[in-house]
Structure 1
Amino acid sequence: MSAFAEPVVAWHEPDDPQRPLVVLLHGRGADERGIVGLAGHLPAGASYAAVRAPIAEGGGYAWFANRGIGRPVAESLTDTMAWFRGWLDRVAPAGRPVVLVGFSGGAAFAGGLLLDEPDRYAGAAILHGTLPFEAGVPVTSARLAGVPVFVAQGDADTVIPRELLDRTWSYLTGDSGAAAYAHRDPGGHGLSAGTVAELGAWLSDRPAVTGRP
């Protein structure tokens, strides 16, 4: 049994189990209300769910305990990923496509989920965050072979350590084998209108989201 409470979920519209599911994962110290509005700027055709992270922190919530910015404690990440999968398996059983969209701490969490089970997801967007290196999930060559991944970073981001941003960019666009779409923004640690537009276009190109071939 999980030590965490049942997930708090904000749906952009009532869920339609016949549609693909896009899960929005907020940043550290925020909550589901701060990211569910992103769905209004993304393509129709999917159900959009914003999930609240399970660990209370700083007036908001976090996806894992940290040993430094962008560096999850491995045991904590393992526990919260198991908790998340328990919810996901109920709302998206086998056969329902799932795309993860994570911002900042949510990006690290999305990356952990994707690296742990690459075949479970129809794609993931890693927005202004790092993958969870040295946190118990595999970061091996070709681990994400063929998996659609959108990675966006801000050139002026001073929140996530630059070495982690650079390592994430290099791995996702290279050794991971992912079908990566990479977008750089001149701004800092936040989603610009340009990044949101690029994300929407990327999702529109995903047959798993739109149902188009």
Structure 2
Amino acid sequence: MADTVEIDRSAVRWARRGESLPLLVLLHGYGSDERDLFSLVPFLPEGLTVAALPAPLSAPWPMPGRSWYPIEELERRDPASVTAAADAVLRWLDAGAADAPTIALLGFSQGASVALQSLRRDPERIAAVVNLSGYAAPGELTEDPALRLRRTPVFWGRGTNDDVIPPALVAHTAQWLPDHSELSGRVYQGLTHSVSEDELADVHRFLERWRDGARPQAEG
């Protein structure tokens, strides 16, 4: 069983914070921090509150930045450390976003695996997930049958030249996501373990659809 980890609430970065706006939570990759994906805010749709979270662990020296879980556990069949990070995100939502009308998560690499695991842990709370260069953790969670029925929208983007995520995990994700979500996405020719302009444009359209569907209908 993995140790309990917590998000540093004082380090969370906010943009476009407003009452009753859909909330998009950004989860960075290994060796980075909350400032990394926060730089994507200009490329995201208007009409959203955006929060960029710091991962709870320091990456081991000499790697800079932070980590959601130990990198050596990338290929473990036991996803306990990924689940512990996801539970930390959900606890942060309890404390810092209890009034958000609807919530989506956008993660890169490690952050994407935590985003998907957060969805698996609480399918009713997370309304959409953007998975950039990430993967679905192996193993079964007790909430997976409910998620399979719910068909939450998930966008999965990855590059043909991404050699960071092991092929076995890519293959697992390619089987798991269509069975547990309403999957859309794209494989980008020549893209490495990174994010491209074309991918950001696709993410923008995906989030617009989520945002517009999330907004309550005006009373006539």
Q: Which moved more, 1:56-65 or 1:76-85?
A: 76-85
Structure 2 residue corresponding to 1:80, chosen from 82, 85, 88: 85
Give how far 1:153 is off. 1.2
TM-score normalised per structure 1: 0.87
1-side partners of 2:133 and 2:142: how far apart? 20
2-side partners of 1:111 and 1:149: how far apart? 9
2-side partners of 1:195 and 1:81: how far apart? 25
Paired residues, what number?
Answer: 209
Give how far 1:91 is off. 2.6
1:176-205: per-residue Cα shift (whole Å, max 9, x none)? 2x1111211011110010000000011111
Give how far 1:137 is off. 6.6
Corresponding residue for 2:207? 203
Corresponding letter in the other structure for 1:32: E
Corresponding residue for 1:52? 54
What is the DSSP-based 3-state SS (H/G/I as helix, E as strand, rest coil) of the residue aligned with 1:182?
A: strand
Give how far 1:210 is off. 6.3
1:27-61: per-residue Cα shift (whole Å, max 9, x none)? 01100111101121010000011100000002111
Corresponding residue for 1:38? 40
Show structure 2 runs of 5+ residues with no match. Answer: none
Structural mapping, 1:118-129, within 5 Å? 118-129=123-134
Corresponding residue for 1:180? 183
Corresponding letter in the other structure for 2:165: I
What is the DSSP-based 3-state SS (H/G/I as helix, E as strand, rest coil) of the residue aligned with 2:177?
A: helix
Kept in 1, the 8 Å contact 2:136–2:176? The answer is no
Corresponding letter in the other structure for 2:94: D
Determine whether 1:190 maps to 2:194.
Answer: yes
2-side partners of 1:116 and 1:104: how far apart? 19
2-side partners of 1:72 and 1:63: how far apart? 17
Corresponding residue for 1:89? 94
Q: Which moved more, 1:134-143 or 1:88-97?
A: 134-143
TM-score normalised per structure 2: 0.84
Q: 1:146 to 1:140 in 2, by over 3 A?
A: closer
Corresponding residue for 1:9? 12
1-side partners of 2:184 and 2:109: how far apart? 18
Structural mapping, 1:58-69, within 5 Å? 58-69=63-74
Corresponding residue for 2:173? 168
Give how far 1:81 is off. 2.5
2-side partners of 1:11 and 1:116: how far apart? 24
Determine whether 1:109 maps to 2:114.
Answer: yes
Q: What percentage of aligned pairs have identical amino acids?
A: 29
1:135-189: per-residue Cα shift (whole Å, max 9, x none)? 857555962632111111111110001121122122212x22x111121101111
Kept in 2, the 8 Å contact 1:70–1:105? The answer is no
Give how far 1:77 is off. 3.0
Q: Which moved more, 1:128-137 or 1:150-159?
A: 128-137
1-side partners of 2:158 and 2:58: how far apart? 26
2-side partners of 1:45 and 1:201: how far apart? 13
The alignment yields a C-alpha RMSD, in angstroms, of: 2.5
